[in-house]
């Protein structure tokens, strides 16, 4: 028995989601069509609404429905600090800590030469314009601690320092409540290297 064309198209469409392979996409498609048609309709409507209304903030490049997002529009935030992250989800993670009160810039990716992603494929020029506005004094690089994230941070640091900006990098180390015996050697080594005085 062949799969109906519309069902096959739905399965293929679900496979664009990260971490969803053919089996997971098939299970999701059958669930939506057979058990939750109302949920499927809500999903379709929400997706169409998001695609029709979301755009990039003119200042920080995250997703927003307005020209400028709520964070950039908040005059109470520290206008002299700019935290650079890879993706909007990273911005949300930093924001949830309630430990940072400055502004953000979202690259919408990271440098990855092996994947063909170079400086022109992320919002590098927009970042340089934003950071060079005469108001920003410190740029905090909060890219991920992957090979690509580290390369991106290094590349950005060189470019930003050349423009006379103070550049810092978020620290690495042990998680709060973590035990030394359960830490991997790389994390533990970094925690020792980046120790601070008390």
Domain presence at residue 35: yes
Q: Give this prediction's pTM.
A: 0.84
Domain count, the chain: 2
Relative orientation angle of helices 147-161 and 124-131, to the nearest 10 degrees = 40
Q: Which domain holds residue 37?
A: 5-53
CATH of the domain at 43: 1.10.8.420
**The pLDDT value given to residue 197:** 72
In a domain, 60, yes or no: no
Answer yes or no: do 112 and 33 share one domain. Answer: no
Give the DSSP letter of residue 17: S
pLDDT under 70: residue ranges of the chain:
1, 198
In a domain, 70, yes or no: no
Separation between Cα atoms, residue 31 and residue 88, nearest integer Å: 29
Residue 43 domain-assigned (yes or no): yes
Residue-wise pLDDT for 1-18, tens only, equals 688 999 999 999 999 999
> Following CA atoms 25, 30, 33, 35 in sequence, which dihedral angle do they give, to the nearest 10 degrees?
-120
* DSSP character string of 88-110: HHHHHHHHHTT---EEEEE-SS-
> Is 117 among the domain residues?
yes
Question: pLDDT tens digits, residue range 92-127?
Answer: 999 998 999 999 999 999 999 888 999 899 999 999
pLDDT score recorded for residue 198 = 66
């Amino acid at each position: 028995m062949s799969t109906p064309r519309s069902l096959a198209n739905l399965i293929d469409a679900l496979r664009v989601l990260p971490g969803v392979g053919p089996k997971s996409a098939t299970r999701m498609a059958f669930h939506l069509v057979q058990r939750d048609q109302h949920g499927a309709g809500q999903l379709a409507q929400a997706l169409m609404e998001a695609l029709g209304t979301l755009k990039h903030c003119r200042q920080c490049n995250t997703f927003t429905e307005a020209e400028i997002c709520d964070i950039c529009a908040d005059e109470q935030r520290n206008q002299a600090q700019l935290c650079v992250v890879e993706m909007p989800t990273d911005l949300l993670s930093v924001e949830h800590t309630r430990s940072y009160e400055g502004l953000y810039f979202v690259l919408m990716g990271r440098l990855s030469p092996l994947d063909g992603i170079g400086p022109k494929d992320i919002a590098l020029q927009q970042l340089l314009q934003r950071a060079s506005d005469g108001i920003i004094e410190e740029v905090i690089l909060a890219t991920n601690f992957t090979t690509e994230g580290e390369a991106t941070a290094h590349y950005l640091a060189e470019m930003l320092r050349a423009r006379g900006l103070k550049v810092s990098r978020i620290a690495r180390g042990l998680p709060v409540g973590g035990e030394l015996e359960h830490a991997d050697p790389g994390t533990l080594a970094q925690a020792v290297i980046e120790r601070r005085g008390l």
